[in-house]
């Protein structure tokens, strides 16, 4: 790069178009991957890039706008004429720039970030912006190298080599690479983009990104691929930045088994380590709620012992959790919910930090932003408490790099992040 990150700090505005309608995969911008919505992941990646001074989501959808704001982005209301199936991304970007210019001069670089590309590395965003700032290029797009032999239909049922001579089979190392555009991002000189009204103008260059980062989610099959990759690509999360912790009971505070004596009384095994974790959360002023579908004296007794709130018999946990959070003035995005089974999924979908114990049902692990190393009843609550308190300690140390509020997780789970 021609300039350091410090030199280019704030040189760009990132704009993320995210409309509510989608014919191929309805609601895709709000779909969660690794516990975080796609639009939340895009905001998180952009906020973590040092060269980006402002992150803006342009949308026609109220829920996308809410999620974007919770993730730390500003929102531009996208008019209907720029939100239909035939509207171009450029039209949304140009409208957003016009709206932003009302408040003052625009940054030198506009970074178009695509919400459906879930594995964007902030370092790649910084590298692309630096190439525009240094005048190496006017438009820099995300791409992966390709050495593929491409064939094209001839019109008579046959095909011909589109990028190679079919009679000459050069080895991979003998062929110059081509570049497949991923769509993840394009860094553009703002003035040039507004003049050309298209993302590709002037001197165009590729910003090569890792092959695994080239996934773009347009179909259900793409989503399956992304879910298979998320644990491999996302970095482990060492902190969980929240203001409250909510947990299931059976399978979280316990190992999901019970003893029944001859009088029908139920006994369960709990972890003293979990109790210490809850005590530390309370000492730090972090509210804790035990939210259980069962109505059982043992749940009430354990909650009383821990000195925390408890709600029992909540077969639909989501509204109970929302009411509890609203009564305490705690945004749902600032809550961690720790679960283990199917009944926890609605509550997990509400919060910013859905978490799962190590032995949770596979579908619950897939929905989690954090998959813990500990099993239910064996220190999982303590592990989550330690992650929450580590975030508090980090904040107390002073200013630090902005991290995604929506994931990227404590499992081998881009770059930190919220939905």
Q: Which residues pair with 291 in a beta bridge?
A: 311
CA pair distance 109, 106, nearest whole angstrom: 8
* Whether residue 265 is found in the same domain as residue 307: yes
* Whether residue 268 is found in the same domain as residue 381: yes
3-state SS string over 328-385?
HCCCHHHEEEEECCHHHHHHHHHCCEEEECCCCCHHHHHHCCEECCCCCCCCHHHHHH
- Is the sign of the CA dihedral 181, 187, 189, 190 positive or negative? positive
Q: What is the pLDDT of residue 50?
A: 94
* Whether residue 192 is found in the same domain as residue 277: no
* Whether residue 332 is found in the same domain as residue 248: yes
Q: Which CATH number covers residue 129?
A: 3.90.550.10
Q: 361 and 341 in contact (C-beta within 8 Å)?
A: yes
Residue 152 included in any domain: no
* Whether residue 61 is found in the same domain as residue 190: yes
Residue 4 included in any domain: no
Q: 95 and 19 in contact (C-beta within 8 Å)?
A: no
CA pair distance 335, 241, nearest whole angstrom: 9
Residue 401 included in any domain: no
* Whether residue 334 is found in the same domain as residue 194: no
CA pair distance 400, 409, nearest whole angstrom: 18
- Total structural domains within the chain: 2
* Whether residue 217 is found in the same domain as residue 251: no
Task: Give Rg (Cα) of the chain.
Answer: 24
* Whether residue 348 is found in the same domain as residue 328: yes
Residue 238 included in any domain: no
Q: Which CATH number covers residue 287?
A: 3.40.50.1000
Domain boundary among 233, 265, 296: 233
Residue 412 included in any domain: no
CA dihedral of residues 399, 403, 406, 408 (deg, nearest 10): -140
Q: What is the pLDDT of residue 87?
A: 83
Residue 118, CB half-sphere, CA atoms under 13 Å: how many?
31
Q: Which residues pair with 354 in a beta bridge?
A: 337
CA dihedral of residues 268, 272, 278, 281 (deg, nearest 10): -170
CA pair distance 340, 125, nearest whole angstrom: 36
CA pair distance 15, 56, nearest whole angstrom: 5
Q: What is the pLDDT of residue 398?
A: 55
* Containing structural domain, residue 126: 12-146+178-233
* Whether residue 215 is found in the same domain as residue 76: yes
* Whether residue 316 is found in the same domain as residue 190: no
- pLDDT tens, per residue, the chain with 419 residues: 333 333 567 789 999 999 987 777 888 999 999 889 999 999 999 999 999 999 999 999 999 999 999 999 999 999 988 887 778 999 999 999 999 999 999 999 999 999 999 999 999 999 999 999 999 999 999 999 998 999 999 989 999 999 988 888 888 778 888 999 999 999 999 999 999 999 999 999 999 999 999 999 999 999 999 999 988 888 666 789 999 999 999 999 999 999 988 888 888 999 999 999 999 999 999 999 999 998 999 999 999 999 999 999 999 999 999 999 999 999 999 999 999 999 999 999 999 999 999 999 999 998 999 999 999 999 999 999 999 999 998 777 654 433 344 433 333 333 333 33
* Whether residue 264 is found in the same domain as residue 211: no
Residue 222 included in any domain: yes
Domain boundary among 170, 200, 233: 233
Residue 337 included in any domain: yes
C-alpha distances in Å from residue 119, one per residue of 37, 126, 208, 211, 245: 12, 15, 13, 10, 28
Residue 404 included in any domain: no
Of the candidates 67, 93, 73, 68, the one whose C-alpha atom is nearest the C-alpha of residue 82 is 93
* Whether residue 74 is found in the same domain as residue 198: yes
Q: 136 and 2 in contact (C-beta within 8 Å)?
A: yes
């Amino acid at each position: 790069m021609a300039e350091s990150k410090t030199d280019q700090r704030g040189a760009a505005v990132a704009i993320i178009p995210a409309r509510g309608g989608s014919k191929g995969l309805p609601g895709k911008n709000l779909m969660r991957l690794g516990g975080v919505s796609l639009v939340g992941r895009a905001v998180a990646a952009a906020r973590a890039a040092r060269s980006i001074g402002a992150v803006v989501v342009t949308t026609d959808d109220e829920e996308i706008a809410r999620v974007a704001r919770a993730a730390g982005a500003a929102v531009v209301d996208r008019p209907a004429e720029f939100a239909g199936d035939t509207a171009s991304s450029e039209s949304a970007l140009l409208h957003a720039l016009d709206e932003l210019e009302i408040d003052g001069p625009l940054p030198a670089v506009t970074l178009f970030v695509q919400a459906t590309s879930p594995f964007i590395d902030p370092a790649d965003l910084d590298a692309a912006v630096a190439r525009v700032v240094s005048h190496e290029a006017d438009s820099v797009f995300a791409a992966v190298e390709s050495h593929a032999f491409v064939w094209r239909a001839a019109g008579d049922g046959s095909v011909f080599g589109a990028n190679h001579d079919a009679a000459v089979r050069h080895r991979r190392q003998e062929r110059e690479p081509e570049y497949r555009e991923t769509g993840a991002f394009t860094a553009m000189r703002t003035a040039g983009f507004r003049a050309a009204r298209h993302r590709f103008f002037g001197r165009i260059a590729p910003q090569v990104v890792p092959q695994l980062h080239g996934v773009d989610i347009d179909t259900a099959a793409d989503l399956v691929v992304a879910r298979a990759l998320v644990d491999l690509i996302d970095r482990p999360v060492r902190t969980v930045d929240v203001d409250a912790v909510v947990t299931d009971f059976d399978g979280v505070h316990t190992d999901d088994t019970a003893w029944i004596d001859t009088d029908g009384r139920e006994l369960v095994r709990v972890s003293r380590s979990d109790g210490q974790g809850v005590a530390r959360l309370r000492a730090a002023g972090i509210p804790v709620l035990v939210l259980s579908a069962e109505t059982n004296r043992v749940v009430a007794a354990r909650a009383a012992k821990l000195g925390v709130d408890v709600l029992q018999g909540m077969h639909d946990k989501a509204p109970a959790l929302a009411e509890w959070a609203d009564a305490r003035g705690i945004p749902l995005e600032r809550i961690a919910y720790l679960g283990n089974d199917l009944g926890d999924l609605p509550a997990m979908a509400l919060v910013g930090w859905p978490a799962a114990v190590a032995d949770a049902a596979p579908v619950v692990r897939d929905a989690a932003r954090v998959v813990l190393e500990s099993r239910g009843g064996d220190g999982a609550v303590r592990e989550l408490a330690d992650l929450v308190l580590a975030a508090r300690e980090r904040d107390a140390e002073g200013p630090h790099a902005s991290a995604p509020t929506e994931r990227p997780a404590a499992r081998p789970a881009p770059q930190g992040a919220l939905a």
